[in-house]
Amino acid sequence: MTSEKTAPAPPNVGRASAGARRRRSWVRFLRDVVVIIVIAVLVSFLVKTFLVRSFYIPSGSMEDTLEIRDRILVDEITPRFTDYERGEIVVFRDPGGWLPVTPEPDRPPVVEAIDWMLSLVGLSAPDSDDHLVKRIVGLPGDNVVCCNAIGQITVNGVPVDESDYIKTPTADSAASADQFDVTVPADSLWVLGDNRYRSKDSRYNTDQPGAGFVPVDNVVGRVFLITWPLNRFGPVDSHSADFAGVPEPVVTEPQASP
């Protein structure tokens, strides 16, 4: 019986098989990279939409707490389950008339696309110029008055010592150069900037449709962290303890007509 011999494969067959395997490996690698990127973008989008958003500070109205070009993170989820507190710094959409109308500059489509992609993952904040950042001084029902004999704002009749965070021309300057006496309506906030003499806040928008009050529905969330520049990285103090002595507003029940 004669044994059968297997004919040797042509020399180029082995090379072709190895090349095909390498191509399949690269295809799998690229597929995995695309899947990872898509998942990362989706997760970042969900985080930005429901949990945390990034903004930058375009003006000095909150100095020295927040400085121009600081980048901040805003907690969106906590306020959905708990009420806001006096002293917290919040980012909110313009209630109407607070910000000047500025035309959008024309940008190349490539720049727009890159900015859009970065905004999905929170690395860009293209809508920062459409939002404002201020500190809550009055909650719904609060009576906020400026100022008492020593220049302090009072909330529900109790003076608040804001010296830890507000910026005024001198140490003896009143907490506001403008007098006011307001009662915050339901579902609204009275907000002021920390750079008290250079902030276009609730005091300066009483002639707008919302009379200077910010609807709670306009609030994006609470500022809790400065992320950039690195030398300013750290948590943002709400100074809620400075309002600890403020009593809850007295709610008067409407009287029935005789």
Kindly list the catalytic residues.
61, 134
Q: How far apart are CA 60 and CA 199, in angstroms?
A: 8
Whether the CA torsion 122, 124, 125, 126 is positive or negative: it is: negative
Please name the residues in contact with 188: beta carbons below 8 A apart, sequence gap of 6 or more. 140, 210, 213, 214, 215, 216
Which of 119, 121, 125, 120 is CA-nearest to residue 91? 125
Which of 152, 132, 134 is CA-nearest to residue 58? 132
CA distances 41 to 76, 198, 234, Å, are 19, 39, 26
Whether the CA torsion 243, 246, 248, 253 is positive or negative: it is: negative
Strands 154-155 and 219-228 come out as unpaired
Q: 153: exposed, middle or buried (C-beta count within 10 Å: 0-12, 13-18, 19+)? A: buried
